[in-house]
Structure 1
Amino acid sequence: MKPLRYSINVTLDGCCHHEAGLPPDEESMHYWTEEMERADALLFGRVTYWMMESAWRKPATGTWPDWMGEWQIPFAETIDGAKKHVVSSTLDKVDWNAELVRGDLETAVRHLKQEPGEGLWVGGVTLPLALAELGLIDEYEFLVQPVIAGHGPTLLAGLRERIQLELVDRQEFRSGAVAMRYRPREQNAAAPR
């Protein structure tokens, strides 16, 4: 079964609003590009799908916008070309290399995890909380920003049961950010859901 990895930028106080941390730089964009390339497909909720599409979908002109630096283009091309699954009960259709995921979330995601490949990548706030509650996340990857936001949505807010994690990788950035990758400890995997 291929793993499901939850990846997100987060501030020191747990805020995971996309504008709360440091602005992206060349080093962090290179890191996220490599991480996204490791995924066979991306899994988004409706809001994250819309946000990512509005920022990273290649314009119909075939030319990236002027605001985008050369160092951002590899990430843009990676996310633009990636296969995407969008979990939504309100959308009628999606495009941008995407297909809708409907019905029972646990059944649908377990089915996606059983398909051949190296792994799935999920981002956002609401969908990862539901997936964590179901015990479906196999790896948690946080790019911790050296910022205290003081407000905004916080990481996995409302989680009913704590999840004990084991640190499996750590990488420091020149900006002071630290990427940390965790896996759930075995007792979590064996616990009844």
Structure 2
Amino acid sequence: MRKLVYGMNVTLDGYIAAPGDDIGWSGPSDELFQWWLDQERASGLTLYGRKLWETMSSYWPTGDQQPEATPAEMEFARNWRDTPKVVFSSTIDSVDWNTRLVTGDAVTEITRLKAEDGAPMSIGGATLAGAAMRAGLIDEYLLAAHPVMVGGGTPFFTALDSWVNLNLVETRRFPGGVVLTRYEKRR
């Protein structure tokens, strides 16, 4: 059975984007970017909601060709293109770059994918991750908390019907005051 990991940069007050989908506060240090790259390399499949897919696919297909790209950004772009992806959306018609589009029930498909053997899967996008959270499908949470509060926007966590008990398995500090916490769901 595959593990499902949900991780993102988050504000101290719990948002992945400020109002207006502003993520200007989330620029990672080189060390944090490298850490995220290592997480992406460990993932065998990436699951995206429509909004995050549109954000990622607007830059990373050619991210390694940008004149200011660092070696880590070049590697991230190559890895992003090569990693299989699934996009869950009923409003887009097609996807590219080693990606499959699913227009049906996301929870049913994520449950099916989790039942397969393989490397861990990562999930991104607040709405999609929220559906997986409510269904009890997420095994691990990675929060890179930035020292900023934005007062509103897109929350990392969704409202849940019941408690989810977690075990803290890692904490780490990064430049700029970012603190990573990694939790696994208790069995």
> TM-score, normalised to structure 2's length?
0.89
AA in 2 matched with 1:47: K
Bigger drift between 47-56 and 143-152 goes to: 143-152
Query: Tell me, which stretches of 5 or more residues in structure 2 are unaligned?
Result: none
Contact 2:6 2:140 in 1 (8 A): yes
Match of 1:45 in 2: 49
Alpha-carbon offset, residue 20 of structure 1: 5.0
Q: Which amino acid aligns with 1:138?
A: D
Q: Is the 8 A contact 1:29 1:71 kept in 2?
A: yes
Aligned counterparts of 2:24 and 2:42: Cα–Cα separation in 1? 26
C-alpha distance in 1 between matches for 2:145 and 2:24: 11
Per the alignment, residue 165 of structure 2 pairs with 164
Kindly state the Cα deviation for residue 157 of structure 1 after the two structures are TM-superposed: 3.5
- Quote the Cα distance in structure 1 between the aligned partners of 2:43 and 2:141: 14
Could you tell me how far 1:56 is from its partner in structure 2?
0.8
Distance 1:22 1:87, change over 3 A: closer
- 1:32-88 Cα offsets, whole Å, 9 max, x none, are 0000111101000111111101121127xxx61124333422222221221100111
Higher percent of residues as strand? 2
- How many residues are aligned here? 183
Aligned residue among 35, 55, 58 for 1:31: 35
SS of the aligned residue for 1:47 comes to helix
Decide whether the 8 Å contact of 1:22 with 1:147 is kept in 2: no
**Counterpart of 2:177?**
176
* Equivalence for 1:189: none
SS of 1:156's equivalent? coil
Q: Give the conservation status (yes or no) of the 8 Å contact 1:11–1:20.
A: no
Please give the alpha-carbon distance, in whole angstroms, between the structure 1 residues aligned to 2:5 and 2:80.
16
* 1:157–1:104 distance in 2 versus 1, CA, 3 Å: closer
Contact 1:102/1:108, CA 8 A, preserved across alignment = no
**Are 2:85 and 2:99, in contact at CA under 8 Å, matched by a contact in 1?**
yes
Query: Sequence identity, in percent?
Result: 35
Q: Residue 54 of structure 1 aligns with which residue?
A: 58
Calculate the TM-score normalised by the size of structure 1: 0.87
Counterpart CA distance in 2 for 1:45 and 1:29 is 22
Structure 1 CA distance for aligned equivalents of residues 70 and 48 of structure 2 = 25
SS in 2 for 1:136: coil
